Structure 1
């Protein structure tokens, strides 16, 4: 299960970062605020991925 989930999680994080970049460009977010946006989104997505893995693991 973990051999499938880790590449899937990396793909999801990569794709979310691409969408975050497009959001920053479209909304014209200043360069000094972009790291905060990336950090927040990456932390939230990582929490989601970990919680979904735990849910799948224990059901």
Structure 2
């Protein structure tokens, strides 16, 4: 169970980063602001995945 969730989580993080990169290119976000955008989105996705795992674990 946990291995499936980890594989699924890795796939989601990589795909979200790909989409974030597309967003940065499309909206022409300056290079100096892009790390902040990636960091914010990655932290939010990590919180979402952690809460999803805990939800699955305790139900």
Both proteins in one fold, TM over 0.5: yes
Q: Which TM-score applies when normalising by structure 2? A: 0.99
Structure-to-structure mapping, 1:1-59, within 5 angstroms:
1-59=1-59
Tell me, in whole angstroms, the C-alpha distance in 1 between the residues paired with 2:56 and 2:10: 17
Q: Secondary structure at the match of 2:54?
A: helix
Structure 2: where are the runs of 5+ without partners? none
Report how many aligned residue pairs link the two structures.
Answer: 59
Counterpart Cα distance in 1 of 2:33 and 2:19 = 16
Kindly report the root-mean-square deviation, in angstroms, between the aligned alpha carbons of the 2 structures.
0.3
